[in-house]
């Protein structure tokens, strides 16, 4: 038996403006289901969480049509204007139940292809870590600097450069305080690790699969469907 508890937070308050599809991207169809439903069901099947909080846009009119709305393991709260705000509001909603040393895993709603093995590896490696960390992937492509006219101005040394993935897993109290401080300081937060870094901590990188893609534009959906078909076949 263990007294460790794990909370899952999914920021899903985006409006999907870049998609230009008339609906938020989390409600686009993937394998004849909402993208959001695929992501949530895969995570909740892969690990035992003590609770799951999904931060939704206050004017979300799609949630009630989802499978997830009928899942008793999932609770929702109102999200905010930015990712940082949504995650912080989700943590505040969980605060009556969570303890400062509990683990919270924040995952992008648009990353449906997380492998169960990667999730379990992340949770195992960080089990006794004082801060936490994130799944990430070493950059293998050659990276270029570009000028205003897209002319190459240099080549970036990719040694030690990693691409941040999710989930990102941190101690509950530490993450809450880091996000609160980032908000006070006006620091841009594109992922939870950047807030934790701003607070003076060093998150641990845990190598994950490059298949853990983020659906950003409609053209990403066929690739996500292909990856999911391979995961379903045990690859």
Express each pLDDT in 165-200 by its tens digit: 999 999 999 999 999 999 999 999 999 999 999 999
The token duo for 135 is 């799944």
Asked if 122 and 208 touch (Cβ cutoff 8 Å), the reply is yes
pLDDT at 72 over 70: yes
pLDDT at 106 over 60: yes
In angstroms, the CA 109 to CA 12 distance is: 6
In angstroms, the CA 122 to CA 120 distance is: 5
pLDDT at 95 over 70: yes
- Neighbour-count burial of 156, counting CB atoms closer than 10 A to its CB (0-12 exposed, 13-18 middle, 19+ buried): exposed
Asked if 11 and 106 touch (Cβ cutoff 8 Å), the reply is yes
Where are the chain's structural domains? 6-135+164-232
Residue whose token pair is 């449906």 = 112
In angstroms, the CA 85 to CA 183 distance is: 8
Pick from 14-28, 59-73, 122-136, 211-225: least confident: 14-28
- Model pLDDT, residue 139: 95
Cis peptide before 167 (omega within 30 of 0): yes
- Model pLDDT, residue 218: 87
- Model pLDDT, residue 45: 96
Asked if 50 and 4 touch (Cβ cutoff 8 Å), the reply is no
Express each pLDDT in 19-70 by its tens digit: 566 789 999 999 999 999 999 999 999 999 999 999 999 999 999 999 999 9
Strand-strand pairing, 162-171 and 103-106:
antiparallel
pLDDT at 235 over 90: no
**Assigned CATH for 6-135+164-232:** 3.90.550.10
Please state, as a whole number, how many other Cβ atoms lie within 10 Å of the Cβ of residue 51. 18
Asked if 211 and 218 touch (Cβ cutoff 8 Å), the reply is no
Q: Where are the beta strands (DSSP E) in the chain?
A: 6-12, 29-30, 33-34, 51-56, 74-78, 103-106, 132-138, 143-146, 152-156, 162-171, 204-207
């Amino acid at each position: 038996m263990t007294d460790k508890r794990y909370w899952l937070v999914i920021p899903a308050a985006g409006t999907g403006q870049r998609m230009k599809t008339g609906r938020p991207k989390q409600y686009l169809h993937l394998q004849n289901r909402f993208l959001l439903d695929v992501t949530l069901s895969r995570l909740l099947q892969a690990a035992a969480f003590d609770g799951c909080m999904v931060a939704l846009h206050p004017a979300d009119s799609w949630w009630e049509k989802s499978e997830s709305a009928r899942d008793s393991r999932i609770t929702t709260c109102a999200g905010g204007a930015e990712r940082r705000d949504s995650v912080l509001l989700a943590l505040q909603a969980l605060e009556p139940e969570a303890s400062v040393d509990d683990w919270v895993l924040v995952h992008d709603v648009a990353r449906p292809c997380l492998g169960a093995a990667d999730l379990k590896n992340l949770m195992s490696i960080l089990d006794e870590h004082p801060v936490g960390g994130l799944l990430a992937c070493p950059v293998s492509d050659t990276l270029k600097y570009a000028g205003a006219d897209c002319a190459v101005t240099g080549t970036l040394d990719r040694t030690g450069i990693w691409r941040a993935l999710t989930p990102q897993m941190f101690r509950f109290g530490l993450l809450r305080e880091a996000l609160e401080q980032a908000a006070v300081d006006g620091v841009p937060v594109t992922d939870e690790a950047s807030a934790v870094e701003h607070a003076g901590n060093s998150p641990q990188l845990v190598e994950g699969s490059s298949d853990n893609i983020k659906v950003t534009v409609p053209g990403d959906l066929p690739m996500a469907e292909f990856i999911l078909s391979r995961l379903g076949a045990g690859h």
